[in-house]
A = this chain, B = another copy of it.
Amino acid sequence: MYLRNLSEELIVEFISRSLLSKPGHGEYLFYPEDARDLLPRAPRILLSMDAYSISSLKLPWRDYSDIGWSSLSGAISDIVAKGGIPHACMIALGLPHTFKQEELEALIRGFREASEYYNVRVLGGDTNSTSDGWIAISTIGFTTARTPPSRSGLKVGDYIIVSGIYGAMGYVAKEGIEKSSGVDWVVKYTKRPLVKIEIGYVIENNYKYISASMDVSDGLSYTLYTMSKLSNCGIVLETPPLVPSELYEHCKGDEECLLEYSLHGGEEYGIVLGVKPEYKNLVQKDLEYFNIPYKVIGKAITKQGLYFHGKELPIYRYDQFRGWSLLTTSLP
């Protein structure tokens, strides 16, 4: 059964029934309304919009539920990086007529599972017919931070703290899809990227001590490069970020090998924080309180560029626009 055999109303009805969050206390509007009402949960609103072509999220070991999950993870990550707690989202879909009913069901299940896991409500959305499937997700979150950290606030001397576990998507980029599909740990880490919502709390609680923050969606080297470039400084790495134990074995602990894989991935959705040196311990204490995997990987320096053991590192970018597997070199 393909979507072209179903009416738009049936499709929208199905999505709404299985996905939409009911009005909460003090809220009134619900499906089939075109807008939803909600009350602020914290003094400051954070708003973001993320869109994907469905094919760019495809990996052989991802089914449509994994694609739904991955797209929602990417969307909320933008809010978390700015010290917000993602509260709700709207999802617009462009689906081909040839999309199968069970594919739609899997996609919606992925959204729902992510929505429940992250405690992010799906309030509504829109469905369109297209020849080339796409997903657009708008997320609203709230933060108590008086000044949410930007990407560009890094100061020389700041510690670079990186949350999350790196290297699996870098393995895919380096070794190729075919080889990667046979490697269990690579498949496990890239099938459904995980965002640690709790980092949002850490950032809003410590906004005065966090000079800069950005999530890792297009590869760790690109995030480090962007933050340092916008902040007019450089970064020296002293150690690789956290990696899966399997990558550590694969690299036999060699740091250059670990960096090679962990810098050039994508969709890890960890957060890179620039932390004022005098408050490093406070931020670390909070990260540990929330059980967030992290590592202090280096420091901001005056000289522009990204360095390890005195050597300048090349910058790669994981580019959604050009397809998931294509890496482009753009030396700083």
Contacts A32-B230, A33-B150, A78-B35 known; A128 to B49 CB distance under 8 Å?
no
Contacts A82-B29, A148-B28, A150-B28 known; A46 to B35 CB distance under 8 Å?
yes
Residues of B within 8 A of A48 (CB): 34-36, 90, 124
Contact at B32–A151, with CB atoms within 8 Å?
Answer: yes
- Taking the complex as formed, is A287 at the interface, i.e. its CB lies under 8 A from any CB of chain B? no
- Please give the distance in Å from A45's CB to the nearest CB on chain B: 5
Contact at A47–B28, with CB atoms within 8 Å?
Answer: no
- Taking the complex as formed, is A171 at the interface, i.e. its CB lies under 8 A from any CB of chain B? no
Contact at A49–B125, with CB atoms within 8 Å?
Answer: yes
- Taking the complex as formed, is A320 at the interface, i.e. its CB lies under 8 A from any CB of chain B? yes
Contact of A90 among B28, B49, B56, B129 (CB under 8 A): B49
CA distance A79 to B47 in the complex (A): 16
Contact at B34–A39, with CB atoms within 8 Å?
Answer: no
Contact at B79–A35, with CB atoms within 8 Å?
Answer: yes
Interface residues of A in 128-160 (CB under 8 A from B): 128-132, 134, 136, 138-141, 143, 147-148, 150-151
- Taking the complex as formed, is A94 at the interface, i.e. its CB lies under 8 A from any CB of chain B? yes
CA distance A197 to B143 in the complex (A): 29
Contacts A28-B148, A53-B130, A321-B8 known; A123 to B47 CB distance under 8 Å?
yes
Contact at A33–B130, with CB atoms within 8 Å?
Answer: no
Residues of B within 8 A of A139 (CB): 35
- Taking the complex as formed, is A116 at the interface, i.e. its CB lies under 8 A from any CB of chain B? no
CA distance A151 to B31 in the complex (A): 10
- Please give the distance in Å from A150's CB to the nearest CB on chain B: 6
Contact at B128–A130, with CB atoms within 8 Å?
Answer: no
- Taking the complex as formed, is A50 at the interface, i.e. its CB lies under 8 A from any CB of chain B? yes
Residues of B within 8 A of A30 (CB): 150
- Taking the complex as formed, is A282 at the interface, i.e. its CB lies under 8 A from any CB of chain B? no
Residue from A8, A45, A81, A321 with most neighbouring chain B CB atoms (10 Å): A45
Residues of B within 8 A of A127 (CB): 51, 321
- Taking the complex as formed, is A215 at the interface, i.e. its CB lies under 8 A from any CB of chain B? yes
Contact of A8 among B39, B92, B131, B319 (CB under 8 A): B319
CA distance A125 to B138 in the complex (A): 9
Residues of B within 8 A of A238 (CB): none
- Taking the complex as formed, is A126 at the interface, i.e. its CB lies under 8 A from any CB of chain B? yes
Interface residues of A in 296-321 (CB under 8 A from B): 319-321
- Taking the complex as formed, is A186 at the interface, i.e. its CB lies under 8 A from any CB of chain B? no
Of the A-B pairs whose beta carbons lie under 8 Å apart in the complex, a sample of 16, sorted by A's number, is: A8-B322, A33-B150, A34-B50, A34-B78, A34-B215, A35-B84, A37-B44, A37-B46, A37-B47, A38-B45, A39-B45, A47-B124, A48-B90, A49-B90, A128-B134, A131-B131
